[in-house]
């Protein structure tokens, strides 16, 4: 997890989360950033930010289900990583 977290161990987590959300619709690379963000949250035992990620992932799953869209495997990977 330490290696995966990288720069997120020393940044403003609220600002980082906002930047990730802004980039999700533009690039699949945002999911890699989200993985690093989750890893940093877990290392820091930052349960509030982890819950924020889980809530967002749950909303994505609900929207995909409602719209009959296949869920990308990366979403399940992120859910697993977030605990």
Tell me: pLDDT of 1 over 80.
Answer: no
16-52 pLDDT, tens digit each: 999 999 998 888 888 999 999 999 999 999 999 999 9
Residue 2: predicted pLDDT: 81
pTM for this one?
0.86
Q: How many Å apart are CA 69 and CA 35, to the nearest integer?
A: 22
Burial level of 23, CB count in 10 A (0-12/13-18/19+)? middle
Please list, in sequence order, all residues whose beta carbon lies within 8 angstroms of the beta carbon of residue 23, skipping any fewer than 6 positions away: 29, 30, 33
Residue 8: predicted pLDDT: 82
């Amino acid at each position: 997890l330490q290696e995966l977290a990288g720069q997120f161990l020393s940044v403003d987590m609220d600002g980082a989360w906002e930047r990730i959300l802004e980039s999700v619709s533009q690039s699949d690379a945002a999911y890699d950033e989200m993985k690093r963000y989750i890893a940093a949250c877990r290392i820091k035992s930052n349960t509030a930010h982890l819950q924020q990620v889980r809530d967002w992932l749950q909303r994505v799953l609900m929207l995909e289900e409602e719209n009959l869209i296949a869920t990308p495997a990366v979403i399940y990977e992120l859910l697993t990583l977030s605990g």
